[in-house]
Chain A
Amino acid sequence: MAVDRRGFLKFVTGVSAGIMVTPVPWVLLDDLSIWTQNWPWIPSNVDGPNTFVSTVSKLCPSCVGMKVRLVGDRPVRILPDDNHPLSKGGISALAVAEAQMLHSPARVRRPLKRSGDGAYVAISWEEADALLAEKLGSAKGSLACVSGDETGTINEVLSAFTARAGSQNFYLMPSEIQPAAKALAAMGGEGQFGYDIENSDYVLAIGANILESWGTAIRNRAAFKDAHPHGQEPTVPYVYVGAVQGNTAAGADKWIAIKPGTEGAFALGLAHLLIKSGASSYASDFSAFASLAAGYTPEKVAELTGASADGIKALAAELQKARRPLVITGSEFGQGTPVGTVAAGMAVNLLLGGLNRPGGVKLLPVAAPVVDSALSRAQMMEKDFVAYLSRINAGKEKAPEAMLFYEANPAYGLPQADKMAEVLAQVPFKATFTTFLDETAMLCDLVLPVPMGLERLDDVATPYGSGSALYCLARPVAPMPANVRPAADYILGLAGKLGYSLGFGKWEDVLKAKAQAMGANWKSLMAGDVFVSTETVGASLSFGADLIAKSLTAKTAEGDFALAPVHKLNMGTAKTAIPPYNNKTIRRWELQGSEIYVAMNGATARKLNVSKHDKVVVSNKSGSIVARVNVFEGIMSDTVAVLMGLGHTAFDQFSKGKGENVMQLLTVGFEPGSGQSVWAMAGVNISKA
Chain B
Amino acid sequence: MADRHLHSANGNSAPSQFGGAAPFFVGLVVALILGWWAFPQVLFSKKHQPVHFSHKVHMEDAGMECSSCHYLREDGTFAGLPTTESCADCHSAPLGDHPEEIRFIEEYVNTGKQVEWLVYQKQPDNVFFSHAAHSMESCNTCHDFTETELCSSCHPNVAEMDEAPVYYENKLTKYSKQTMKMWACERCHAHPDHYGNTRSSNACFVCHK
Interface residues of chain A, those whose CB is within 8 Å of chain B, are: 1-4, 6-8, 10-19, 21-24, 27-28, 30-32, 34-35, 37-38, 42, 44-45, 47, 49-50
Contacts and interface: CB of A to CB of B under 8 A. Distances in A.
Given A2-B17, A13-B24, A31-B172, A21 B32 contact: yes
> Nearest 10 pairs between A and B by C-beta?
A22-B35, A14-B27, A18-B31, A10-B23, A14-B24, A15-B27, A18-B28, A7-B18, A14-B28, A11-B27
A17 to B, nearest CB: 6
Nearest to B124: A37
Contacts of B22: 10
B139 interface: no
A18 B32 CA distance: 6
Given A15-B30, A49-B79, 17 more contacts: A4-B18, A10-B19, A14-B23, A14-B27, A15-B28, A18-B27, A18-B29, A19-B31, A21-B32, A22-B39, A24-B34, A27-B43, A31-B172, A34-B124, A35-B173, A37-B126, A44-B125
Nearest to A69: B75
Contact of A1 (B18, B34, B170): B18
A600 to B, nearest CB: 40
B9 interface: no
29 contacts: A1-B18, A2-B17, A3-B18, A3-B23, A6-B17, A7-B19, A10-B19, A10-B21, A10-B22, A10-B24, A14-B25, A14-B27, A14-B30, A14-B31, A15-B28, A15-B31, A18-B29, A19-B35, A22-B36, A23-B35, A23-B40, A24-B39, A27-B43, A31-B170, A32-B172, A34-B173, A34-B175, A42-B125, A50-B75
B34 A19 contact: yes
B21 to A, nearest CB: 7
Given A2-B18, A7-B19, A18 B30 contact: yes
A38 B24 contact: no
The majority secondary structure among interface residues of chain A is helix
A7 B32 contact: no
A338 to B, nearest CB: 49
A11 B26 contact: yes
B208 interface: no
Interface string B121-139: 0001110000000000000
B172 A17 contact: no
A299 B40 CA distance: 88
Contacts of B21: 10
Interface string B23-55: 111111111101110011001000000000000
Contacts of B152: none
Interface size class of B (residues with CB under 8 A): 35 or more
Contacts of A16: 27, 31
B128 to A, nearest CB: 10
Contacts of A30: 181
B77 A50 contact: yes
B41 to A, nearest CB: 12
B34 A22 contact: yes
A379 to B, nearest CB: 47
Contacts of B181: 30
A22 B37 CA distance: 10
A53 to B, nearest CB: 14
Nearest to A12: B27
B174 interface: yes
A526 B28 CA distance: 73
A23 B181 CA distance: 15
A15 B174 CA distance: 28
A252 to B, nearest CB: 35
A6 B16 CA distance: 13
B31 A22 contact: yes
A360 B75 CA distance: 42
Task: Identify the interface centre among B17, B18, B34, B124: most chain A CB within 10 Å of its CB.
Answer: B18
Nearest to B35: A22
B7 interface: no
A580 B73 CA distance: 32
Contacts of A38: 173-174
B23 A7 contact: yes
Interface string B147-179: 000000000000000000000001011110000
B112 interface: no
Contacts of A21: 32, 35
A47 B39 CA distance: 34
A31 B173 contact: yes
Nearest to A18: B31
Contacts of B43: 27, 31
Given A22-B39, A34-B173, A50-B77, A8 B31 contact: no
Contacts of B80: 47
A49 B124 CA distance: 19
A458 to B, nearest CB: 28
Contacts of A15: 27-28, 30-31
Contacts of B77: 49-50
Interface string B1-25: 0000000000000000111011111
B13 to A, nearest CB: 12
Nearest to B27: A14
Contacts of B31: 14-19, 22
A44 B127 CA distance: 12
Contacts of A14: 23-31
Contacts of A31: 43, 170, 172-173
Nearest to B39: A24
B172 A22 contact: no
